Amino acid sequence: MKITGSCHCGFIKIEGEADPEKVSICHCTDCQTGTGSAFRVSVPIPGAQFNMTGEPTGYVKTTADSGNLRVQAFCPKCGSPIYSTTPGAGKQAAYMVRVGILDQRDQLAPKRQNWFRSARPWVTALGGLPKNEKQAPP
């Protein structure tokens, strides 16, 4: 399906083609720190179908168990994570786009969870937590 997205401040805009069946959660500790949250949600977009305006900052992460380098792109103005990809000049083979920045995120439910060994134990029990429809009462 066609997807479009943007960082929070609008400096970075992307579009491409993504397969909703390939949406996944990553529970690795690098993704926990990189999102500041419990896990990441990503979907791959082939480089040939990926277009972007604006210039993200690339952070080359060297801490993967595999030893692989991975470029983590984020907006230099608002900090929104945009994608990860392989290092190198020019267009890469694929981009793992962060689903939270996509306009169609409601249609991009994850189909798989990776690095479950470091998943926060509570993520599978969210239904039991009290819910406020908007902000918490003061």
Partner 1 sequence: MKIDGGCHCGFIAYEGEADPDKAAICHCTDCQTLSGSAFRTVVPVQDADFRMTGGQPSIYVKTAESGNQRQQAFCPNCGSPIFSAPPGDGPKAYFIRVGTIRQRDAFVPKAQVWARSRQAWLADAPSVRTSKDTQ
Q: Kindly state the helix (H) or strand (E) to which residue 58 belongs, with its residue range.
A: strand 57-61
Return the SS3 of 60: strand
Q: With binding defined as CB under 8 A, does residue 82 bind partner 1?
A: yes
CB of 45 to partner 1, least distance (A): 14
Quote the DSSP letter at residue 63: -
CB of 20 to partner 1, least distance (A): 11
Count CB neighbours of 69 within 10 A. Answer: 13
Pick one of 44, 50, 81, 85: the residue that binds partner 1 (CB under 8 A).
81
Return the SS3 of 120: coil
Q: With binding defined as CB under 8 A, does residue 20 bind partner 1?
A: no
Q: Residue 39: which of 132, 113, 95 has the closest Cα?
A: 113
Residue 74 is encoded by which pair of tokens? 């984020």
Positions 37 through 66 that interact with partner 1 (CB under 8 A): 37-41, 57, 59, 61, 63, 65-66
Rounded Cα distance between 16 and 52, Å, is: 9
Q: With binding defined as CB under 8 A, does residue 25 bind partner 1?
A: yes
Q: With binding defined as CB under 8 A, does residue 21 bind partner 1?
A: no
Q: With binding defined as CB under 8 A, does residue 69 bind partner 1?
A: no
Q: Residues in the site for partner 1, rule: CB under 8 A?
A: 6-9, 24-25, 30, 32-41, 57, 59, 61, 63, 65-66, 72, 74-82, 98-101, 105-106, 109-117, 119-124, 126-127, 129-136
